[in-house]
Amino acid sequence: MVKPFSAIQRNTYLEEMENNELDLLVIGGGITGAGIALDASVRGLSTGLIEMQDFAAGTSSRSTKLVHGGLRYLKQFEIKLVAEVGKERAIVYENAPHVTSPEWMLLPIMKGGTFGKLSTSVGLKAYDKLAGVKRNERRNMLNKKATLEKAPLLRKEGLKGSGVYVEYKTDDARLTLEIMKEAVHRGTKATNYTKAETLLYKDGRVIGAKVKDLVTGKTFDIKAKRVVNAAGPWVDDLREIDGSKKGKFLYLTKGVHVVIDQSRLPLKHAVYFDTEDDGRMVFAIPRDGKTYVGTTDTYYDGRIASPRMTQEDLDYILKATNYVFPSLKLEEKDVESSWAGLRPLIHEEGKSASEISRKDETFISDSGLISIAGGKLTGYRKMAERIVDMVAKDLGVKGKCTTDKIVLSGGAVGGSNGLAAFQKEQVKAGMNLGLEKKEAEKLVKLYGSNVKRVYEIIETTGEEAKHFHMPKSLYASLVYGLEEEMTVSPLDFFNRRTGSLFFDIHWVKEWKEQVVNYLSYRLHWTREQREQYIEELEREMAYAMNPEEKVQEKTHA
Ligand SMILES: Cc1cc2nc3c(=O)[nH]c(=O)nc-3n(C[C@H](O)[C@H](O)[C@H](O)COP(=O)(O)OP(=O)(O)OC[C@H]3O[C@@H](n4cnc5c(N)ncnc54)[C@H](O)[C@@H]3O)c2cc1C
């Protein structure tokens, strides 16, 4: 049976898109584009999506990985934004509980800090109200003693107490993939490594795009009644091609996160703290035996595809972390991994990076190109609704957005209430297949209800895992990634499919050779391709583990 989202079938999907005019072509496979494709497919529009890198390889795998209302924006009186994305948290959680989990955040109140006791209490209460927070997740105010019981490593000097409240932690890349997979299962045709090189026009109206498959070098003309530019930080590049980059334009700011082992930064709860130097707010979030800390927020005008952590970014985060957790004395060698992402913000005269609004904006050009930029991961569904409402109305398609009720791929676990029982049962099922408990837990957490497919792969394959010198769990993950999540390269697998480049870099080092061998065999790489993919993985590992300057020094040495 031909799988609808297999790396082996990319050419077929592209030919199908070329041979049939679409209702909607979406350019960009980050969370914005994926959300639009899902909504459009659910409403019956024939939809295609092309992504020039891997899905989520732009900003959507490089965020703070929170489904949150953005408490910080209350300070800027962005009431509407906080209310909208705040309410969305519950929907994202219910529809994809396997990639979203509640996380108690502790907001320390320090003498001279951003928020005082009263403003924290009032601010968090307002947040609860605006975001319609569930009763058992509403804010709580703690005195100094109770705060230190929850976070004993916090700086005691100047600590007055804290506010605790709930946000949701996610895996941004996997959330994007689950939306993409759901869209594909509902009819979207989508391929990664396919670039819109130029737009196609008829009588001054945009009617599609000339796209290039960057794996095979083949080009395709994809025609569509409407074209949406959801290219994130590249939105202006396409507006430029369209000759419509006028008025407002993008302003890119870089945000860096670093990953530290829990043995060096042990936190029971996430902490959202002020930096000593510039009073910005930074998260420290526990996850899978690690804690990640970030972010920075600085103007960026380098290569959009490869923002990197510089020495200055690293020093800034370590200094801020050592200030709030002074006994730890963290050093550069404690940083295991890192990532850097670009916020596609809309330029606002006279405002600093942190002050610019995070709300999304839509631009419609004279040619009919619809561009959408800005926004948040959390608000992806509402952004999609606005765009698809517009397209559907234009095309005379009736029906409203219903994606609030659509369970995403992997999310069929009996809702958030059923998740724990589902996980328990499936871990048991995995162990019955001969997996170690830890291996089964990892698969269940990664794939949610799709773990059943991953288990089927284990059941139906004979000696292949052994032949490729891999444990069965890794083998099944890789086959599933290749055949049902369009994994094309080792980096796709280690970064966007499993998150291990950031949260388990030792695992990447242990298995990279076997993963390369298997993908090479299944995708019939030439020797040159194999070398390129290995080089790409090694390069990205080096940049994840070291500041940019050090990697460049080594490469030029
Ligand atoms: C440091 C940081 C922290 C953040 N933290 C959070 C958070 O915790 N919670 C939250 O809700 N939001 C957060 N955000 C915001 C959120 O990550 C972004 O709003 C969101 O990921 C943007 O998604 P997108 O799809 O618009 O862009 P992208 O994910 O960048 O997707 C655009 C895609 O378009 C593709 N593309 C571009 N040009 C072409 C072309 N010509 N042909 C084909 N494809 C093309 C690109 O390759 C890219 O993959 C954060 C952002 C940053 C930078």
441, pLDDT greater than 70: yes
Residue 38 and residue 184: Cα distance in Å, rounded? 8
| pLDDT value for 122 | 83
Fill in the amino acid letter for 324: V
| 286 ligand 1 Cβ < 6 A | no
Which pLDDT score, from 0 to 100, does residue 219 have? 98
pLDDT at 74: 65
For atom 25 of ligand 1, the residue with the nearest CA is 30
Q: Across the strands, what pairs with 410?
A: none
Place 121 in a pLDDT band, splitting at 50, 70 and 90. confident
pLDDT of residue 80: 73
Q: How far is the CA of 60 from the centre of ligand 1 (A)?
A: 4
> Among residues 183, 195, 192, 172, which one has the least CA distance to residue 6?
192
Tell whether ligand 1 has an atom less than 6 A from the beta carbon of residue 29: yes
User: Does any ligand 1 atom lie closer than 6 A to the CB of residue 70?
Assistant: no
Q: What integer pLDDT is reported at residue 113 of this predicted model?
A: 80
Rounded to the nearest angstrom, the distance between the alpha carbon of 499 and the centre of ligand 1 is 16
Nearest to 260 by CA among 236, 239, 290: 290
Which residue owns the Cα nearest ligand 1 atom 10? 377
Task: Give first-to-last CA distance, the chain, whole Å.
Answer: 51
Alpha carbon nearest to ligand 1 atom 1, residue:
255
Tell me how crowded residue 217 is: count the other CB atoms within 10 A of its CB: 7
Band (77; pLDDT cuts 50, 70, 90):
low
Q: Which two tokens stand for residue 84?
A: 């909208």
Confirm or reject: Cβ of 473 under 6 Å from ligand 1.
no
The answer on pLDDT for 173 being more than 90 is yes
Cβ atoms of 376 and 85 closer than 8 Å: yes
Average pLDDT on 9-26 reads 97
Residue 304 confidence (pLDDT) above 70: yes
CA of 34 to the centre of ligand 1 (A): 11
CB count within 10 Å of CB 245 equals: 18
Does ligand 1 lie within 6 Å of residue 353's CB atom? no
Residue type, 481: G
Q: 53 CA to middle of ligand 1, Å?
A: 12
pLDDT in tens, 474-528: 999 999 999 999 999 999 999 999 999 999 999 999 999 999 999 999 999 999 9
Name the pLDDT band for 216 (thresholds 50, 70, 90).
very high
Q: What pLDDT does 551 receive?
A: 95
Close Cβ partners of 364 (under 8 Å, ≥ 6 residues apart): 370, 371
Query: In this predicted structure, what is the pLDDT of residue 348?
Result: 67
Closest residue to atom 48 of ligand 1, CA basis: 58
- Specify the pLDDT at position 538: 98
Distance (Å, rounded) from C-alpha 293 to C-alpha 306? 20
Atom of ligand 1 nearest to the CA of 374: 19
Q: Is 227 in the pocket of ligand 1 (CB under 6 A)?
A: no
Retrieve residue 67's tokens.
Answer: 């489904």
Q: Residue 354: which pLDDT band, with cuts at 50, 70 and 90?
A: low
* 280 C-alpha to ligand 1 centroid (Å): 22
35 lines ligand 1 (CB under 6 A): no
Name the CA dihedral angle for 473, 475, 479, 481, rounded to a multiple of 10 degrees: 60
| Structure-block tokens of residue 331 | 């050093």
Distance (Å, rounded) from C-alpha 254 to C-alpha 92?
26
Q: Which atom of ligand 1 is nearest to the CA of 54?
A: 49
% of the chain with per-residue pLDDT over 70: 96
Rg of the chain over Cα atoms, rounded to whole angstroms, equals 23
Query: Probe ligand 1: pick from 84, 234, 361, max atoms within 8 Å of CB?
Result: 234
68 lines ligand 1 (CB under 6 A): yes
Q: pLDDT tens for residues 363-400?
A: 999 999 999 998 889 999 999 999 999 999 999 999 99
Q: Is the pLDDT of residue 73 over 80?
A: no
| Encoded tokens for 214 | 């960057």
CA gap 496, 128 in Å, rounded: 32
Is 32 a pocket residue for ligand 1 (Cβ < 6 Å)? yes
Angle, vertex CA 367, rays to CA 362 and CA 372, nearest 5: 15
Atom of ligand 1 lying closest to residue 342 CA:
53
Ligand 1 atom 27: residue of nearest CA:
232
Please state the length of the chain.
Answer: 557
**Residue 1 pLDDT > 60:** no
Q: What is the mean pLDDT of residues 219-243?
A: 97
| Residue 75 pLDDT grade (very low, low, confident, very high; cuts 50, 70, 90) | low
Q: How far apart are CA 378 and CA 388, in angstroms?
A: 18
Mean pLDDT, rounded, of the chain:
93
Q: Hey, what amino acid is at 476?
A: A
Q: Is the CB of 208 under 6 A from ligand 1?
A: no
Q: How far is the CA of 440 from the centre of ligand 1 (A)?
A: 31
Instruction: Give the residue among 52, 1, 7 at the shortest CA–CA distance from 480.
Output: 7
Average pLDDT over residues 189-210: 98
d(CA 13, CA 189): 6
Distance (Å, whole) CA 153 – CA 267: 8
CB atoms closer than 10 angstroms to residue 509: 11
411 has pLDDT over 90: yes
Decide the pairing of beta strands 22-27 and 219-229: parallel
Output the DSSP codes for 38-61: HHHHHTT--EEEE-SSSTT-SGGG
- Looking at residue 76, its pLDDT comes to 67
With the most atoms of ligand 1 within 8 angstroms of its CB, the residue from 59, 191, 239 to mutate is 59
Longest dimension (CA), the chain: 71
Report CA(50)–ligand 1 centroid distance (Å): 15
Q: Whose CA is nearest to atom 4 of ligand 1?
A: 63
What is the pLDDT averaged over residues 184-196? Answer: 97
CA of 429 to the centre of ligand 1 (A): 36
Helix (H) or strand (E) holding 316: helix 311-324
Cα of 532 vs centre of ligand 1, distance in Å, is 25
